[in-house]
Homo-oligomer: A and B are copies of this chain.
Amino acid sequence: MAVVGVSVPRLDGLDKVRGATRYTADLELPGMLYARVLRSTYPHARLLRVDASRAARLPGVVVLTRDDLQGMDPCYGPVVRDQPIVALDKVRYVGDVVAAVAAEERDLAEEALDLVQVEYEPLPAVFDPLEAMRPGAPLIHERTLAMDAAILPGPIVHLERSGNTRSSHHVEQGDVEAGFAEADEIFEDTYTLPIIQHGHLEPHAALATWEASGKLVVYSSTQSPSQVRTQLAELFRLPESQVRIIVPCLGAGYGAKLYCKLEPLAAALARKARRPVQWALTREEVFLTIVRHAAVVRLKTGVKRDGTLLARQIEVVYDTGAYADCGPRVAKNSCHSSAGPYRIPHQRLTSYCVYTNKPPAGAFRGFGVPQVCWAYESQMDDIARRLGIDPLELRLKNLLREGDQFVTGEQLTSIGGSRCLEQVAETIGLRSAENESADLRLQSADWSQSALCNLKSQINRTQHSALVRGKGLACMIKSSTAATNSAASVRLNADGSAQLLTSAVEIGQGCGTTLAQIVAETLGLPLERVSVSLPDTDVTPYDFGTMSSRTIFSNGHAARQAALQVRTQVLDVAAQALEAAPQDLEIADGVVRVQGAPERCLTFAQVFQARFGTAVGSLFGNDDFQTRGGVDPETGKGKAAAFWFWSAAAAEVEVDTETGKVRVLKAAISVDAGKAINPRQCALQNEGSMLTALGSALFEELVFDNGQPINASFLDYMLPSLEDCPDSFQPWLVETPHPDGPFGAKGVGEAGLGPVAPAIGNAVANALGGVRIRDLPLRPDRVLSAECRVEGTQHPALGGLPP
């Protein structure tokens, strides 16, 4: 192949490095106002009074309060419509939007905000999802029945109808009790992960304007323009053709920019102001807008002495904050995959999505799987350790294989799991067959297995001996969401250049380049002769969204099919003109020729001349690709994935037993790309996964004090710096072609993230002689206090799950 499989430079690269790319917040429209919002300072309170009349009297200021939302259902949300444009009866978290103003100058907007008077009646609040599930916990959403009526169509999740539990999800196979009874060893542990934030460079922004005709136009930093269009059409009771979502380049999103975020409020303000309204978040506000679910994972596993996994029972509780966002989908997705990429005959998997009085949690690269992967891959090493089996071998022994049935009942194909594991193990020096010194049980031989305290006191004596090293690995399976829908249109111009129309969002991942490669390869064109649109729902076709690493698989599939349709037309016309059979023709370098008779050829211009009489016009191809699927909400059975991600990671760490600081020396990620359309971009995705996971493994957590976030800024919230990066990083790609992927390609973006934190965790445990830290992040204080922990018992702080 000429273009696919080649690491061509990114088509948008130069614009980006030169600072020429325009993001949503860079856009201006004549007469544009700037929006600012007033946010709740209470985690839970009844709104007695919202009076913006003084603010409204400022010249050039427009205010929006709940009074302006009369006569419409002002609530939105991708799964249930539980989030109002501005607070109605009460506020549900610190940061909840109470009122909004728009003014010609940002300063004036701030000034106007100060004049909005709000009277609160504080209510009891609940911050811990386990507490929130208990009977008698303060109820965060009273409007349960009304909300249930607002459930969006489609069998997405099994929704609970009472309390703070928004939804629960369940799937099982075999007889898990019988499995535990058969087991030689049982492992039962609880793992926790805190709230983290995506840390995307570009804060959310939206610019809304209403045309006099009544059409709503929103420029937005959204990852899902088609879904935002649908929801705005519903909110404002418009046909979708009267809502136009235009998406410039995004400065990353990682899930934070999926579904409606700023768009409903910006649109409502612009409607009232009769002027364009721009709303761009500050960094602090980003932390209050969307976060990753904190989770508590209780994991019980029964194994045979030879390492065969027999039974696994899992309960995962997801803290979805004050509004569901896509939390129910995260919990559902996590539920299927929570037993990991292993053949386990007996499984009972349950997950819960629970409201608390904290910021809404939604999609985050990995969509619920990093949380469960942290649990099952940490426990896997504990199992290996207790049974005396090499962790790599234990995994390879139990890994799902081609044709196996997943817990959802679907048959698996295109499985690169073992190759991923072997690659990273080899890279990090953990593959026992090839590297004797890498035997995990022999690692850090100078460490006694049981006596961390003794060791620490020894280490404290000399500066150097305080540093200990360890290695670890982990692997993962994850579904890519189904059912979804991605359409593409390809147009060939008479000069032999082509355009792809897609609503795929250029989120920093380089999809424009990769999709162009797919079209160029299919049409036999040089890459520079293919251009790819940015999303504009008035002109680019429906797309489910840039999420779940589905763009190359789904939009790419649609683009390839659309291009193939164009190719067929070109070949048919050329075959007639050249008096040859279409299958005897080839296209390369902008020329259609008879194979073996290169003098019998036509340029694209000549093909158009033959087709249309003049060398102008457009040849079209369209495809609307559905990844069919979905699971039964009662049984959890069905088809959970358009395709499955397989990946593995390994790390070597250095732990300073004096300060508790963990440093990753070496890391590797291997992902099954199916087919790497642009290998360099795939490798860079792995690099991104590694950096994101490094932060969540070692540093990141959004900390609350009685519902008040106390580190919601980049000054206080610890992202990994360049100094924290591993000295060496190896991004591996495995290629197990998928029958539905374009040229066999699957997704890569989020695949590498899941196993990194457990690999680091396993390396730390390895360095600490088997002492396990089950709570992320691996903060220095946790490392230092790990010595006080007795391996295998339940985390004291967590308690059991409610009955």
Does A241 sit within 8 A of B, measured CB to CB? yes
Query: Chain B contacts of A17 at CB under 8 A?
Result: 212
**Which stretch, A110-118, A439-447, A537-545, A756-764, touches the partner chain B?**
A537-545
Does A521 sit within 8 A of B, measured CB to CB? no
Does A326 sit within 8 A of B, measured CB to CB? no
Query: How big is chain A's contact interface, by range?
Result: 35 or more
User: Chain B: which residue is nearest A485 at the CB level?
Assistant: B617
Choice from B13, B211, B226, B538 contacting A616 with Cβ under 8 Å: B226
Query: Chain B contacts of A615 at CB under 8 A?
Result: 153-154
Give the number of copies in the complex. Answer: 2
Does A628 sit within 8 A of B, measured CB to CB? yes
Query: Chain B contacts of A624 at CB under 8 A?
Result: 612, 617-620
A30 to B154, CA, bound (A): 44
User: Chain B: which residue is nearest A12 at the CB level?
Assistant: B213
Choice from B11, B612, B626 contacting A213 with Cβ under 8 Å: B11
Query: Chain B contacts of A613 at CB under 8 A?
Result: 483, 626, 628
**1/0 contact trace for A318-343 toward B, CB 8 Å?**
00000000000000000000000000
Query: Chain B contacts of A26 at CB under 8 A?
Result: 30
Taking the closest CB of chain B, its distance from the CB of A763, in whole angstroms, is 41
Choice from B154, B214, B491 contacting A541 with Cβ under 8 Å: B491
Does A387 sit within 8 A of B, measured CB to CB? no
Taking the closest CB of chain B, its distance from the CB of A510, in whole angstroms, is 13
**1/0 contact trace for A487-504 toward B, CB 8 Å?**
101010111111101000
A495 to B242, CA, bound (A): 11
**1/0 contact trace for A533-560 toward B, CB 8 Å?**
1001011111010000000000000000
Query: Chain B contacts of A489 at CB under 8 A?
Result: 489, 620, 622
Supposing A14-B213, A539-B539, A614-B154 touch, asked if A620 and B497 sit within 8 A by C-beta, the answer is: no
**Which stretch, A451-459, A523-531, A696-704, touches the partner chain B?**
A523-531
User: Chain B: which residue is nearest A19 at the CB level?
Assistant: B212
Does A15 sit within 8 A of B, measured CB to CB? yes
* Chain B CB within 10 A, most for which of A17, A233, A240, A244: A240
Asked if A618 contacts B542 (CB within 8 A), the reply is yes
Does A20 sit within 8 A of B, measured CB to CB? yes
Does A22 sit within 8 A of B, measured CB to CB? yes
Taking the closest CB of chain B, its distance from the CB of A641, in whole angstroms, is 15
Asked if A215 contacts B531 (CB within 8 A), the reply is yes
Choice from B487, B497, B539, B616 contacting A501 with Cβ under 8 Å: B539
Does A800 sit within 8 A of B, measured CB to CB? no
A226 to B612, CA, bound (A): 16
**1/0 contact trace for A593-617 toward B, CB 8 Å?**
0000000000000000000111111
- Residues facing B in A714-737 (CB within 8 A) are none
Choice from B154, B483, B529, B538 contacting A533 with Cβ under 8 Å: B538
Asked if A242 contacts B531 (CB within 8 A), the reply is yes
Taking the closest CB of chain B, its distance from the CB of A240, in whole angstroms, is 5
Taking the closest CB of chain B, its distance from the CB of A264, in whole angstroms, is 18
Taking the closest CB of chain B, its distance from the CB of A211, in whole angstroms, is 5
Does A28 sit within 8 A of B, measured CB to CB? yes
Asked if A497 contacts B226 (CB within 8 A), the reply is no
Supposing A18-B212, A28-B28, A241-B530 touch, asked if A487 and B542 sit within 8 A by C-beta, the answer is: no
Taking the closest CB of chain B, its distance from the CB of A543, in whole angstroms, is 9
A183 to B193, CA, bound (A): 103
Asked if B614 contacts A493 (CB within 8 A), the reply is no
Asked if B617 contacts A620 (CB within 8 A), the reply is no
A483 to B611, CA, bound (A): 13
Q: What would be 13 A-B contacts, judged by CB atoms less than 8 Å apart?
A: A11-B213, A12-B213, A13-B213, A15-B213, A20-B212, A240-B493, A241-B498, A241-B499, A487-B620, A491-B541, A536-B539, A539-B539, A613-B626
Q: Which A residues are within 8 Å of any B CB, using their own CB? A: 11-15, 17-18, 20, 22, 26, 28, 30, 153-154, 211-215, 226, 230, 233, 239-242, 244, 483, 485, 487, 489, 491, 493-499, 501, 528-531, 533, 536, 538-542, 544, 612-620, 622, 624, 626, 628
Closest 8 CB pairs of A and B: A14-B212, A241-B497, A239-B497, A620-B622, A241-B531, A15-B212, A539-B539, A239-B529
